[in-house]
A and B are shown apart, each in its own frame.
Chain A
Amino acid sequence: MNNVFAGRQKLVIYLTMIPGFVVFCLFGIVPSISTLIISFTNFTAIPGIPASFVGVSNYIHIFVDNAQGVLQSLKDTLIFAASVTVLQNAIALWMAHVLTKKFPGVKFFRTLVFMPAVLGVTIIGLMWSLIFAPSGGPAAGILSLFGTSSAFFGSSRFALPLVIFVQIWANLGFTTIVYIAGINTVPVELGEAARIDGASNWLNFWKVTFPMIAPSLTVGVILAAAGSLRTYDLIYVLTDGVNNTNTLGMYMFNTAFQGSSNLGIGAGIGMIQFVLTIVVVLALQKYLARREEAMS
């Protein structure tokens, strides 16, 4: 298409685009391709130590020397991601189903469920750490009524389920919005007709609404899966990866920036996480797309 701006003005257009483009190359393209390169080096976070290429030795370290660590991390990641994806979508579906009805306070409830999205991981993490404080916290108080106690985030049995709970709590509103948008595209008349024909509310939802929001399900599931396979900031606040909560993201971060500060090995773990995420997301996408076709 031809440009209505000519001569000097055209030059201005190009000149003003340069800074943004430089920023994009420098902090977008370069870092995203160099994780792979760094995974073949022995970079450390400690300044002043020269780095060199070490071939695949970081991967040998990850998979052979420290196989236990990566296996445990894979297990934690899969449990975390699968639980979050399934539960978050199931609960959000129910929430959206109810929140698209008309009843007093519905707007207030929508706002409340969405609020964590704005609070950020530090506030959310510290708030739940407080509630699950092993001595004196409200949750401990409730347990003591039953004559029992728990270390919560400090317990190897409960830390992961609790982390999963907080992760879902924080992102539920977002997934719910996706489903609300989907349900709003379903014509109201359809549900009304089914209801007059005597379909129960539950049947109505499964037989009428649910098949019609197949595209929303695809979006909701993919986003939750990709997000939960990559995230680690909330886990960092809650447990810092101890007690079976060492997901690949957490493992990568702690390897790279804590203790030995080995950026090369960290980048290797980052690549494993990246490949896992891509494989899972592509598989889900294929499956859900086929399901969408079958539904329509």
Chain B
Amino acid sequence: MKPIRRRFSHDWWRYLFTLGLVVIILYFGPLVFLANISLETESQFLTNSMSLPHPFSWSNFAQAWQQASMGEYFLNSVLYTVVPTVIALMLSLFLAFPISRQYVRWARQLHVLLTSGMFFPVAVIPLFIEARMLHLYNNRPGYIILHIEDAMVFGFFLFVGYFRTIPRELDESAVIDGCGYLRYLFTIVGPLARPAFATMGIYAGIQIWNDLIGPVVFLATPSLFPLSRGLFVFYGTSASQWTLLAAGVLIAAAPLIIAFLLFQRYFIQGATAGAIKS
């Protein structure tokens, strides 16, 4: 009988060759091209963009950073991502814990209702009208508030499942020891649910960071734009300054790629949980 466990699969070199080639060309290729273009001079791009940059035009990065005011947009993005994600995390914790424990009336109905929130149709037009009525249009607090709901519903869905793994006896012993609800939630449940928090925070955070329709619809003043729209505006105004655009795109992509490499596990968990969502 042949041994069942081998280090590599039968015919492994064929897989490596076919899939490896496809993936490298299609997924690594574009990034390499981008890096290559970002280091070329404008005239070199127009004559032969595929050749290696000569001389290296490092100044593209500094110029793109300045010309696209990426620093400003970057700070906006950080604010728009961190604040709604943290608020959504808190609010979904407050909703998910008592509902998953059925500590409140109508817990089952509330569970169904809040989970169904993940399936609601995209409603950008009504949100725009609401934003205008509630003075959430074209200002930072408004933009932050408008991004809480999506992340919160996702967090709720994730946490309700996770809290089932925390034994009820823990609640009882906390009460017997005279621990209040909020203290219990923050000092006992919170640390126990850290993996779920990380999954929610990273996945929801990246969704908000990358949102482009949101800033197009809810913001009008350029100084309020996050990086996603700022970069898009730069694309519109820098018409055919492709080398600068390539540098700008790489600057914007770098933190995301680093975050992805660091938190890949959480991100894939979030995406699989959100599978049912999108």
Contact = CB atoms under 8 A, between A and B. Distances in A.
A195 B10 contact: yes
B112 interface: no
B175 A4 contact: yes
Interface in B87-133: 91-92, 94-95, 98, 101-104, 114, 117, 120-130, 132
B181 A103 contact: no
Interface stretch (A63-71, A129-137, A152-160): A129-137
A30 B95 contact: no
B260 A118 contact: yes
Dominant SS among interface residues on chain B: helix
Interface in B8-40: 8-13, 15-16, 18-20, 23-24, 26-28, 30-31, 33-34, 37
A146 interface: no
B12 A101 contact: yes
B54 interface: no
Given A95-B19, A103-B9, A115 B228 contact: no
Interface in B250-278: 252-253, 256-257, 259-261, 264, 267-268, 271-272, 275, 278
A76 to B, nearest CB: 18
Given A35-B125, A120-B210, A177 B19 contact: no
Interface in B128-183: 128-130, 132, 145-146, 148-149, 152-153, 156, 168, 171-172, 175, 180-182
Interface string A83-126: 00000000000010011011111100101111111111111001
B78 interface: no
Q: How large is the interface on B (under 10, 10 to 19, 20 to 34, 35 or more residues)?
A: 35 or more
Contacts of B206: 118, 120
Nearest to A51: B129
A43 interface: yes
Contacts of B7: 102
B33 A13 contact: no
Interface of B: 2, 4, 6-13, 15-16, 18-20, 23-24, 26-28, 30-31, 33-34, 37, 45-50, 91-92, 94-95, 98, 101-104, 114, 117, 120-130, 132, 145-146, 148-149, 152-153, 156, 168, 171-172, 175, 180-182, 206, 209-213, 216-217, 227-229, 231-232, 235, 240, 242, 245-246, 249, 252-253, 256-257, 259-261, 264, 267-268, 271-272, 275, 278
Given A3-B101, A112-B28, A126-B249, 17 more contacts: A1-B103, A4-B168, A19-B94, A23-B152, A27-B127, A28-B149, A30-B130, A32-B123, A34-B126, A102-B7, A102-B9, A115-B257, A130-B242, A131-B33, A219-B275, A227-B278, A252-B125
7 contacts: A5-B103, A5-B171, A28-B153, A102-B7, A109-B20, A112-B24, A141-B50
Interface of A: 1, 3-6, 9-10, 12-14, 16-17, 19-21, 23-24, 26-32, 34-35, 38, 43, 45, 47, 95, 98-99, 101-106, 109, 111-123, 126-131, 133, 135-138, 141, 169, 174, 177-178, 181, 188-189, 192, 195-196, 201, 219, 223, 226-227, 230, 232-233, 236-237, 249, 252-253, 256-257, 263, 266-267, 270, 274, 277
